[in-house]
Amino acid sequence: MTLSLSKDTIQVTKEQDVVFLKNRVKETAVKIKMGLVNQTRLLTAASELVRNMMRYANGGACIIEVVSSGRANGVRLTFSDSGPGIPDLDAAMRDGFSTGKSLGLGLPGTKRLMNEFNIKSKVGEGTVITIIKWN
């Protein structure tokens, strides 16, 4: 069972918003005393996902939450956009797959950095990605 302790929504449409978002994620991680390596994993994952959101959907929103499982605290990020959506999720989750001109590490790499990773996407409606890093 995962309990949400605090919630903060940030709209991301410009490059400055990306910097602002990263700072907020970092603040949240520091607040729950997350270790340095996990902080780095979380921030790197956030960086990957927000870039995808900017590149493929022209922006979207990110919800930053402090969550608790009773035993540990963590940070949950929910990225949602109303972009074109991902037609083939299985392919997108494979290493080396990319429709843009990138390495195709974004989604599978991000999943490896996180404790929990959840993606929902509908073509023509948008994509919602939820990630959790426990403390």
d(CA 49, CA 46): 5
Does residue 77 belong to the site contacting another protein (CB under 8 A)?
A: no
Does residue 43 belong to the site contacting another protein (CB under 8 A)?
A: yes
Does residue 10 belong to the site contacting another protein (CB under 8 A)?
A: no
Among 6, 7, 11, 19, contact with another protein (rule: CB under 8 A): 19
Closest to another protein by CB, 18 or 64: 18
How long a stretch of residues is the chain?
135
**What do you get for the CA distance between the two ends of the chain, in Å?**
16
Among 41, 57, 80, 121, contact with another protein (rule: CB under 8 A): 41
Cβ 124 to another protein shortest distance, Å:
27
The residues, ordered by sequence, that sit 6+ positions from 135 with a Cβ below 8 Å of its Cβ are 32, 33, 34, 35, 38, 72, 73, 74
Backbone region of residue 58 per phi and psi (left: phi > 0; alpha: psi in -120 to 50; beta: other values): left
Chain residues binding another protein by CB under 8 A are: 15, 18-19, 22, 36-37, 39-41, 43-44, 47-48, 51, 95, 102-103, 105-106, 108-110, 112-113
